[in-house]
Amino acid sequence: MVEVYTCKLPANRETTVLDKLLFHVSKERQSRLKRFVKIDDAYRSLVGDLLVRFALTERYGAIDGELKIETNEYGKPFLCEYSDFHYNISHSGDYVVCAVHVDAVGVDIEYIGPFNLHLAKELFTEEEYQEVQENENSLAAFYDIWTLKESYIKAVGQGLSKSLKEFSIKKDRSNDSIRIKDVQTGKEMMDYVCRQYKADDNYRLSVCAHHANAAQFRSLPISVTFQEICERLGMAVTKPNVYGGIKIETN
């Protein structure tokens, strides 16, 4: 089953809460997170890590100890102790998402913000660029294709070594199917399947999974609150005053 977990960051992001949650990630990750200048960036990165642990507990029950994370030759992380648990993380704006599958998986979420659509010509194939130009909502169409292409790139796990122009994405609006085609050979790549979900009207969310079929994708993403993540980790979040500040206490 291909599952997608989504978490909207809390409105109030406090350093004291962040410091408490740091103990649930490795020393290396703690060091990296402390180097973030902006607290929002630190929260996005940390919540991504915690969503992985949350998804693991959903599948395997309580997970004790530090997760042993390694990377492939292109830098894509994986859990060496869970060979049938593949994951990928993405974040944008107020959202953090994590996709999990028994095989390779990629996910991308993007806030639909201003973008110079002329640059799409440099990023997309001619067919994709034409689709953006002809769409009534060209900005949304751009982010549809962009997130789908990014999710495929991340599923393949070859990083920037694979060009966005090596393959094309085509959405069939009559049945919502999504085709991935190798530009050089013209052949459709059937071993990867893409799907889009709705997280928010202002975002686009796409997932791509290896050796999956449409029936293996959950119909809806699994929405998890920041408080639920904290509770699953054995921590209680409370709102101590009318100003909406939050504090976190160990149970």
Same domain, yes or no, for 153 and 199?
yes
**Residue owning tokens 């199917």:** 177
Same domain, yes or no, for 141 and 232?
no
Same domain, yes or no, for 5 and 77?
yes
Same domain, yes or no, for 211 and 227?
no
H or E element: which one contains 202? Answer: none
Q: How far apart are the first and last CA of the chain?
A: 33
Specify the number of domains making up the chain. Answer: 2
Same domain, yes or no, for 114 and 210?
yes
Q: What CATH number does residue 32 fall under?
A: 3.90.470.20
Q: With the C-alpha atoms ordered 193, 198, 199, 204, is the resulting torsion angle positive or negative?
A: positive
pLDDT of residue 161: 82
Same domain, yes or no, for 73 and 116?
no
pLDDT of residue 242: 31
Same domain, yes or no, for 1 and 93?
yes
pLDDT of residue 20: 86
pLDDT of residue 238: 45
Same domain, yes or no, for 95 and 132?
no
Same domain, yes or no, for 146 and 190?
yes
pLDDT of residue 250: 40
pLDDT of residue 235: 62
Rounded to two decimals, the pTM is 0.91
If you write DSSP's letter for every residue of 50-115 in order, what string do you get? HHHHHHHHHHHS---S---EEE-TTS-EEETT-TT-EEEEEEETTEEEEEEESS-EEEEEEE----
**Residue owning tokens 């960051």:** 9
Residue ranges of the chain with per-residue pLDDT less than 50: 238-251
Same domain, yes or no, for 96 and 47?
yes
CA-based angle 35:94:244, to the nearest 5?
A: 90
Q: Which domain holds residue 154?
A: 110-215
Same domain, yes or no, for 23 and 73?
yes
